[in-house]
Amino acid sequence: MLLGDLLRQVRQSQQLSQLALAELLGISQRHVSFIEQERSRPSRALLLRWLRELCSDQSLINAAMVQAGYPAEPLERTQSDRDDEVKCMCRILHVCDPFPAFAFDADWRMIEINASGQWLCNLLMPAVWMQVRETRAGVDMIAALEHPYGLFSKMVEPAGVARALLRQLRTEQIMNPRLRPRADKLEQTLRGIFPMEDATIRKHNSTQLELAFHTCLGRLEFVTQQLLISLPQNVGAAPTRMEMWFPASHDTRYILGAHSFTPSRSANECNGIVRSQLIGPASTSEPTQCSSAFLSS
**Cβ–Cβ < 8 Å for 128, 152:** no
**Cβ–Cβ < 8 Å for 186, 142:** yes
Q: Are residues 230 and 184 in the same domain?
A: yes
Q: Are residues 56 and 89 in the same domain?
A: no
pLDDT of residue 295: 34
With a CB cutoff of 8 Å and minimum separation 6, the contacts of 10 are 50, 51, 54, 56, 60
Residue 73 CA to residue 37 CA, distance in Å, equals 25
Q: Are residues 129 and 13 in the same domain?
A: no
Q: Is position 41 within any domain?
A: yes
For the residues 280-293, what does the mean pLDDT come to? Answer: 38
Q: Are residues 178 and 225 in the same domain?
A: yes
248 — pLDDT class (breaks 50, 70, 90) = very high
pLDDT at 81 over 50: yes
Residue 94 CA to residue 90 CA, distance in Å, equals 6
Tens digit of each residue's pLDDT (9 = 90 or more) over 105-160: 889 999 889 999 999 999 999 999 988 877 666 689 999 999 999 999 999 999 99
For the residues 174-189, what does the mean pLDDT come to? Answer: 90
pLDDT at 195 over 50: yes
**Omega of the bond leading into 158 within 30 degrees of 0 (cis):** no
Q: In CATH, what number is assigned to the domain containing residue 10?
A: 1.10.260.40
pLDDT of residue 252: 96
Residue 184 CA to residue 112 CA, distance in Å, equals 26
Half-sphere exposure of 167 (CA within 13 A, CB side): 17
Number of domains in the chain: 2
Q: Are residues 197 and 169 in the same domain?
A: yes
Q: Are residues 122 and 55 in the same domain?
A: no
280 or 228, greater pLDDT: 228
Q: In CATH, what number is assigned to the domain containing residue 248?
A: 3.30.450.20
Q: Are residues 27 and 109 in the same domain?
A: no
Q: What are phi and psi of 243, to 5 degrees?
A: -130, 120
Q: Is position 233 within any domain?
A: yes
pLDDT of residue 111: 87
Q: Is the pTM of this model over 0.75?
A: no
For the residues 236-264, what does the mean pLDDT come to? Answer: 79
pLDDT at 29 over 70: yes
Cα 153 from chain centre: 22
The boundaries of the domain holding residue 273 are 83-279
Q: Are residues 207 and 100 in the same domain?
A: yes
- Single-letter code of the amino acid located at 262: T
**Cβ–Cβ < 8 Å for 233, 248:** no
| 250-260 and 115-124 helices, crossing angle to 10° | 120
Residue 273 CA to residue 279 CA, distance in Å, equals 10
For the residues 255-275, what does the mean pLDDT come to? Answer: 57
Q: Are residues 50 and 94 in the same domain?
A: no
Q: How much of the chain, in percent, has pLDDT values that exceed 70?
A: 76
Quick one: which H or E segment has residue 178?
none
Q: What is the DSSP string of 27-92?
A: S-HHHHHHHHTTSSPPPHHHHHHHHHHTT--HHHHHHHHHHTT-PPPPP---HHHHHHHHHHHHHH
Highest mean pLDDT out of 202-206, 278-282, 292-296: 202-206
Q: Are residues 103 and 237 in the same domain?
A: yes
Which among 56, 70, 65 is positioned nearest to 9, based on CA atoms?
A: 56
Q: Is position 49 within any domain?
A: yes
pLDDT of residue 202: 42
